[in-house]
Amino acid sequence: MKILFFTEYYYSFNKNGATSFSSSHLRYLRLKYPSDEIEVIYLGAETDFWKEQPDFANQNISVTKIPVANTEHAVLSIRILGIAFGTRKISTLIDSLFALSLSNQDLILIKNKISSTMGIRYIWCEHLTPLLYLNLLSLKEELTTKIVYSHHDFLYKILLKRRGWFKDIVRSFFIKRLELSLFKGLRYFVSGSASEIEFAKINLSKQAHCQLLPCIYPAIQQKNRGLIPSLSDKVKIYHLGTVSATANRIGLVSFMKNVFPKIEHLDFTLEFIGNVKDFFLAEFPEYIEHPKIRLHGFVENLDELIEEQMIHIIPYQGFTGTRTRIGNLIQYKPCLVGYTNMTDSYPILSNNENALVANDLIEFIELLKEGVKRKELRQRLSLQVELDFGVYEQGLLSKSWNNN
């Protein structure tokens, strides 16, 4: 059998959430179907697809590069709005809303590759862009039923969160219409969010199959889990992530305005990992030299900085910003402190069993205080949190997915 894996992202767990998810899913497919031939159709601009050495055999994974620029929005105009309002055809909606950069010749090459490939198990589309291109190809029905849509975020929601300008609102309206139209033709749907799975079930056909598939980091399998070191006397509160991500930026504003003043008197250091210094200079200049705050910037090897069994905060309450971060952090035996959105991507998390999960801001502050004050609480929760890759094997191996 053969799997065609369409992605814009090179193999790496050290760039951003979308890249980590794509890498995790490629790794997942290789481990779940070790005898299958996998061909990566790489739409990214980077020359080298293998940015990191994988922890699996990749000799029988071929990479075909068709570099494209980022998927750009088409300029909104009265003509485009008229087309978008007046059509139900997906390809017309795509052409009206996006300025896709693949040439007709490239599209023909992709279509011929798919049509000439025998014994296809899945045509895996990592995120929205590959799915848009495949919908321009007018594939035969027996091929479209092989498509797996690996969903990261709804683009129409992201547009509203980022700026909320009038153009964004108008564009979001039409992109929502497009995204829901794309759903109707899908047979397989994968997401790292349980709430998105439930939303998809409402909008997908009754014949479609859905699978919750969190982002799993290789280090979880590789890290030497020897004797647990003694906890440091100084409590450390970590925040991992750059403010270029909307969830991180909103969460940090809330944390610095509403939480930090309430816990400042306690004994801890606040360790920010990621590019947040410019954000602090602009938004909170009074804290830039604070003795409890340390701005580390980008850290390539987290093993050199993060101590096990320390507090890790996820201060954003929306349903983004947790999907890859938690998968990465669990290997460090953290005492996770966040909101109920953490359980959307990782249902294994439960308050006071393996994490501190708050329902609202007031509870978040109280749980964080408890975590700082109580060493035995941090240690107990840290020892209980674990994410086993094998927990998620059954979904793709179940009979409902094995249609070949």
pLDDT tens profile 294-336: 999 888 778 778 888 899 999 988 766 567 788 788 878 899 9
Provide mean pLDDT across the span 193-205. Answer: 86
Provide mean pLDDT across the span 145-156. Answer: 87
- Between residues 158 and 210, the one the model is more confident about: 210
The token pair that represents 196 in the structure block: 């998105």
Q: 101 pLDDT band (50/70/90 cuts)?
A: low
Q: Is the pLDDT of residue 236 over 90?
A: yes
Most confident of the following: 79-83, 284-288, 330-334: 284-288
- Between residues 285 and 67, the one the model is more confident about: 285
Mean pLDDT rounded to a whole number for the chain: 83
Give which of 347, 365, 357 is closest to 381, Cα–Cα: 357
Q: 196 pLDDT band (50/70/90 cuts)?
A: confident
The token pair that represents 17 in the structure block: 């959430």
Predicted confidence at residue 104, as pLDDT, reads 65
Q: Is the pLDDT of residue 394 over 60?
A: no
Q: Does domain 2-66+102-152+185-215+390-397 correspond to CATH entry 3.40.50.2000?
A: yes
The token pair that represents 150 in the structure block: 């690996």
User: How far is the C-alpha of 378 from the C-alpha of 321, rounded, in Å?
Assistant: 23
Q: Is the pLDDT of residue 389 over 90?
A: no
CATH superfamily of domain region 219-384: Glycogen Phosphorylase B; (3.40.50.2000)
Q: 6 pLDDT band (50/70/90 cuts)?
A: very high
For residue 254, what are the CA distances in angstroms to 1, 29, 161, 258?
49, 38, 15, 6
Q: Where are the domains of the chain?
A: 2-66+102-152+185-215+390-397, 219-384
Most confident of the following: 90-94, 96-100, 247-251: 247-251
pTM for the model:
0.79
Predicted confidence at residue 153, as pLDDT, reads 81
Predicted confidence at residue 148, as pLDDT, reads 95
Neighbours of 323 (CB within 10 A): 26
- Minimum mean pLDDT among 81-95, 184-198, 230-244, 272-286: which range? 81-95
Give which of 51, 380, 80 is closest to 231, Cα–Cα: 380
Q: 267 pLDDT band (50/70/90 cuts)?
A: very high
In this structure, what are the phi and psi dihedrals at residue 280, rounded to the nearest 5 degrees?
-65, -40
Cβ within 8 Å of residue 273, ≥6 positions away: 238, 239, 240, 241, 296, 297, 298, 299, 302, 305, 306
Neighbours of 116 (CB within 10 A): 7
Predicted confidence at residue 179, as pLDDT, reads 86
The token pair that represents 179 in the structure block: 């995204």
Helix axes 166-184, 128-135, angle to 10 degrees: 60
Predicted confidence at residue 177, as pLDDT, reads 84
